[in-house]
Structure 1
Amino acid sequence: MKLKFIATLAVLISSICIPQVFSQSKKTPFYEIKVYHFENAGQEELIDNYLKNALLPAMNRKGIKNVGVFKPVNNNTSEDKRIYVLVPFKSTKQFTDMPEQLAKDAMYNENGKAYLDVAYNKAPYKRMESIFIKAFDLMPNMELPALKNELSKRVYELRSYEGPTEKMYTRKVEMFNTGGEISLFKRLGFNAVFYGSVIAGSRMPNLMYMTTFEDMAARDEHWNTFRVDEEWKKLSAMDYYKNTVSRNETILLNPTGYSQI
């Protein structure tokens, strides 16, 4: 009788815990940054129409929300013109299954026909690259920026920090998580969208993150505040975290009119 009671109690407890476990499984721990490199306005228009009318709606139908599309602030004058697409994925399986799912989506194929069926000598880009990222433990979910102004006026900052060695790179990741750099950014109102480790890309070892601002003046003001912050001065002066970045890149972006972030 006692064993029967314990078994019944165990079933009851497990049934109570199921919603919590399910909720935890809905985290978004991976991101893909797809970069389209193109040369002219015709290619740009073809990519924009494909993303706006075919790819983003198809991903939304498959449960992937908040897909961001951005262009560098200096895109018009740059020789290497680019479009960045940020896609959140719940798992590596969702990422690897996506091409096959898109191929079976009739609406996607119809709406993206001009891009998908373009002739080989009229390609919509020079080259396309994919960066796959695993979210940091301290910020496992994408966060939408708490900005009040128009999308077109906002500035998004994408940063990458490459480490000289795997071990030194790991220390830089620790600096963001257990070291407190993520919480510092949050306290100073940087409106971070994500932080993560690059697990597949052309530059490794590498971490990337994105912060957002209402405009360029706000961006500059935030960084000026960051540089003189006492917590940052103390953190950056620690020997353990020195020389952990061998190359860093900052890309300032504007969201497109159809970006969902």
Structure 2
Amino acid sequence: MFGSATLTAKERQFYQIKIYHLKTKAQETLVDNYLEKTYLPALHHAGIKQAGVFKPVTADTAEIRIYVLIPFQSLEQFANLDKTLQADKSFQTNGKDYTDAAWNNIPYTRIESILLQAFPGMPVLEAPALKAPKNERVYELRSYESPSEKYHVNKVKMFNTGDEIGIFRNLNFNAVFYASVISGPRMPNLMYMTTFNNKEDRDEHWKAFSADPKWKTLSAMEEYSHNVSKSEILFLRPTDYSDL
């Protein structure tokens, strides 16, 4: 089974971020039940033991969103996931309110998908080592868009060769992943997720990052200038049933 494969040191995981766009609380309840009782257990059966489910800390007044983060050992495992799930008898029998929903009573508006590949500097997903209960935590998902493919490669180099990842690690940012988007709506871009016990903890960490001598030196290097044209920050919180 693909999910039980072991990565070598040089291999990097792939990640899918699925974003459920919803309109009503009834849809949210239905999708939550499906993810908790059907989808995540099926992922576990397929050998994917650490999938994350998150919601924005501040609710959007226009729509409801649920974010699902799934790690894969290979693109083949990603491509075969639907086939693997369809072969799971429990998956077939559970969650019929979701899977068999009528065309005029669907459980979501749309599902958005982003596919990423992990950076060499952190080739596999890591579960955060936090002490706070999940309902207090803050997970920060960042997206850095670059002006062109060349600048994107340069920003990725800054994280890896320039060791921006190392600065985050030394300051205990509890990163879950760093990755390049290989298919998504805002390319070229990279995304990464750092985690904190609460908002105050998050602010203290970023204050320390801004003051860090290594970051000041790295960010002042001419070779890494102008490699981010737009950044987006999203504050998320894990659901009670999230693995992460």
Q: Is 1:162 aligned with 2:145? A: yes
CA RMSD of aligned residues (A): 1.6
* 2-structure distance, mates of 1:40, 1:187: 42
Asked if the contact 1:188–1:222 (Cα under 8 Å) also holds between the matched residues in 2, the reply is yes
SS of 2:186's equivalent in the other structure is coil
What are structure 2's unaligned runs of at least 5 residues?
Answer: 1-5
- Residue number in structure 2 paired with 1:117: 100
5+ long unaligned stretches in structure 1:
1-21
Secondary structure in 2 aligned to 1:132? strand
Match of 1:139 in 2: 122
Q: Which amino acid aligns with 1:218?
A: D
Which one of the candidate residues 200, 211, 216 is aligned to 1:228? 211
Shift of 1:228: 1.4
Shift of 1:29: 1.1
- Pair 1:72–1:23, CA change in 2 (3 A): closer
Is the contact between residue 13 and residue 117 of structure 2 (CA under 8 Å) also seen in structure 1?
yes
Question: Would you say the 8 A contact 1:28–1:142 is kept in 2?
Answer: no
User: Is the CA contact (8 Å cut-off) linking 1:26 and 1:90 kept in structure 2?
Assistant: no
2:234 to 233, 236, 251: 251
User: Residue by residue, what CA displacement relative to the aligned partner does 1:208-247 show, whole Å, maximum 9, x if unpaired?
Assistant: 0000000010001111111111111111111111111111
Distance 2:47 2:222 in 1: 44
Q: Percent identity, aligned pairs only?
A: 53
Residue 35 of structure 1 pairs with residue 19 of structure 2: yes
Q: CA deviation at 1:144?
A: 1.1
Within a 5 Å distance, the mapping from 1:56-75 to structure 2 comes to 56-75=40-59
- Amino acid corresponding to residue 208 of structure 1 in structure 2: M
Alignment partner, residue 29 of structure 2:
45
Deviation sequence 1:58-108 (CA, Å, 0-9, x none): 010110011100000112x43132100000100001000011121222211
Secondary structure in structure 1 of the residue aligned to 2:104: helix
Aligned to 2:3: none
Quote the offset at 1:180 in angstroms.
Answer: 1.1
Q: Which residue of 2 aligns with 1:18?
A: none
Q: Does 1:97 align with 2:84?
A: no
For residue 26 of structure 1, report the CA deviation from its aligned partner: 10
TM-score by length of 2: 0.95
Q: Does 1:149 align with 2:107?
A: no
The 2-side partners of 1:112 and 1:97 are apart by 20
Larger Rg over CA atoms: 1
TM-score (norm 1): 0.89
Q: Secondary structure at the match of 2:112?
A: strand
Aligned residues: 240
Measure, in 2, the Cα distance between the counterparts of 1:148 and 1:83.
Answer: 23
Q: Could you tell me how far 1:31 is from its partner in structure 2?
A: 0.6
Please tell me the residue identity of whatever aligns with 1:69.
Answer: V
Residue type of the alignment partner of 2:34: Y
Quick one: distance in 1 between partners of 2:28 and 2:230?
A: 29
* Alpha-carbon displacement from aligned partner over 1:144-175 (angstroms, at most 9, x marks no partner): 11111212211100001011000011100000
Aligned ranges for residues 130-209 of structure 1 at < 5 Å?
A: 130-209=113-192
Change (3 A) 1:23 1:133: closer
Given the alignment, which residue of 211, 221, 233 partners 2:194?
211
Q: What's the CA shift for 1:199? A: 0.4
Q: CA deviation at 1:25?
A: 7.4
**Structure 1 contact 135–141 (Cα < 8 Å) conserved:** yes
